[in-house]
Copies of this chain bind each other. A is one copy, B any other.
Amino acid sequence: METRIDRIKKQLHAASYKLTPQREATVRILLDHEEDHLSAEDVYLLVKDIAPEIGLATVYRTLELLTELKIVDKINFGDGVSRYDLRQEGAAHFHHHLVCLECGAVDEIQEDLLGDVEGVVEKRWNFQIKDHRLTFHGICWRCNDRSSQDPPQ
């Protein structure tokens, strides 16, 4: 059976890049933390456990390469660091995010939801959409439930 790593290796080779041990270790960390939104520093600290010799610059370079190849998406939630998000295999669009202002949690919305909106934008603004970023800021379900347990004052 072809694994996810194998397919990424093919994508790299198709663009004439090698899947070096450092690159493979970095990809494995991303796969192992698919639901997280890791910064380059986060990835570096995690990857050092399985490849202690790796340098921070290599992690940055690898993440940049994976971004170019559209294997990961780079996103910024306004906290001064870029975060790297594995793109779902076969997903037409980048998924959306829910950032909780209270607890800081970042949840994902995999559904598209923007189909109609993109139709309007393409037609009315004559804009050819290649990608999008949609983030909602607010109170997540966890913090909502907690506050509804407490009666309002």
Query: Which residues on the B side are within 8 Å of A125 (C-beta)?
Result: 98, 107, 109, 141, 152
Q: How large is the interface on A (under 10, 10 to 19, 20 to 34, 35 or more residues)?
A: 35 or more
Interface locus among A18-26, A58-66, A132-140: A132-140
Copies of this chain, tallied across the complex = 2
The residue from B117, B124, B130 contacting A138, defined by CB atoms under 8 A apart? B130
Query: Which residues on the B side are within 8 Å of A127 (C-beta)?
Result: 98, 107, 136, 138-141, 144
A45 within 8 A of B: no
Bound Cα distance A83, B76 (Å)? 13
Bound Cα distance A148, B127 (Å)? 12
Across chains A and B, which 5 residue pairs bring their CB atoms closest together, nearest first? A126-B141, A128-B139, A131-B137, A130-B138, A129-B138
